[in-house]
Amino acid sequence: MFSQSQSRAKAEVVHRQFLKQSLGFRKSTTNQIVLAELGRFPLQIHFWQQILHYHNRVNALPNSRFDKLALIEGQQPSLLFPQETDQ
């Protein structure tokens, strides 16, 4: 099974191969040339844009919304790094 980063890398390779084939470019054509020709960015940048867009959209919601409350609760450091209690 692929890890998440390997899956993303594989998706990027397949995406670039598809773009090269669609444009009729050789396999040896530089990836940056292909992306620039189409005015595109690597998929990883697209993924981060989508994540930030979602985060900003949820952040703009009223504090009474469940999805906003889940975001706020998920950002609490106590959930990410639970403190050990002395017993």
Predicted local distance difference test score (pLDDT) of residue 2 = 63
Predicted local distance difference test score (pLDDT) of residue 9 = 83
Predicted local distance difference test score (pLDDT) of residue 24 = 94
Query: Left, alpha or beta for 19 (phi > 0: left; psi -120 to 50: alpha)?
Result: alpha
> What are the CA-CA distances from residue 79 to residues 65, 72, 76 (Å)?
20, 11, 6
Q: Which candidate, 53, 54, 48, 55, places its Cα nearest to that of 8? A: 48
Residue ranges per structural domain of the chain: 1-40, 42-80
Read off the DSSP letter of residue 60.
Answer: T
pLDDT digit string, tens, across residues 13-67: 998 999 999 999 999 999 889 988 888 888 888 889 999 998 899 889 898 888 8
3-class state of residue 1 by DSSP:
coil
The length of the chain in residues reads 87
Give DSSP secondary structure letters for 4-30.
HHHHHHHHHHHHHHHHHHHHT--TTS-
Question: pTM, whole model, 2 decimals?
Answer: 0.54
Q: Kindly report which listed range (5-9, 51-55, 62-66, 79-83) carries the lowest average pLDDT score.
A: 79-83
pLDDT digit string, tens, across residues 52-67: 998 899 889 898 888 8
